[in-house]
Amino acid sequence: MIKGLYETHLFVESLERSIDFYKNTLGLTLCHQNEERRVAFFWIGEPKSAMLGIWEKPLSEIEKRHFAFRCDVEDVLNNSINYLKNRGLKPYNFLNNGKEVPMVFSWVPAVAIYFTDPDGHYLEFIASVEGEGRPELGIVSSEEWINRKTA
């Protein structure tokens, strides 16, 4: 029955600031905005495949949330850090150890890098990597994962 995730929603303090972030910083396509309801919707990837809704609420009603954007492996490994930095964003890895290196969740396996939006929501670029999961490895740097596969 279920084929995937179609949409997710976040509360934001400033609709205009968040529209600017998701449209101009991340490059998502604004597909609908309702000023009266203080909401905007964006296509994620191809139109009608996945959607993000942002709803303006007072700061006191906003809880930090997390979601991940599916990406290509090469983009996460080779382009994500510069992509984020060039847009004034600070990339960090799952371990939040100060290293700007994508990490691999070995049990999936998938490679990921994190960043935050203007409201502090935890966002992620993630891509499934080839091969079988290796849960015994835990969470390792992308370099360590690649070196294990080539060794």
Strands (E), the chain: 7-12, 29-34, 39-43, 51-56, 66-70, 103-105, 110-116, 122-128, 139-141
What is the arrangement of strands in the sheet containing 122-128, beginning at the earlier edge strand? 66-70, 122-128, 110-116, 103-105, 139-141
Same domain flag for 88 and 118: yes
Same domain flag for 50 and 119: no
Where residue 2 falls among pLDDT bands split at 50, 70, 90?
Answer: confident
Q: Rounded to two decimals, what is the model's pTM?
A: 0.93
Same domain flag for 11 and 44: yes
Same domain flag for 40 and 5: yes
Where residue 148 falls among pLDDT bands split at 50, 70, 90?
Answer: confident
> What does the pLDDT look like over 102-138, one tens digit per residue?
999 999 999 999 999 999 999 999 999 998 999 999 9
- Give phi and psi for 87, each to the nearest 5: -105, 15
Same domain flag for 89 and 34: no
pLDDT for the residue numbered 22:
98
Where residue 51 falls among pLDDT bands split at 50, 70, 90?
Answer: very high
Number of domains observed in the structure of the chain: 2
> What does the pLDDT look like over 18-50, one tens digit per residue?
999 999 999 999 999 999 999 999 999 999 999
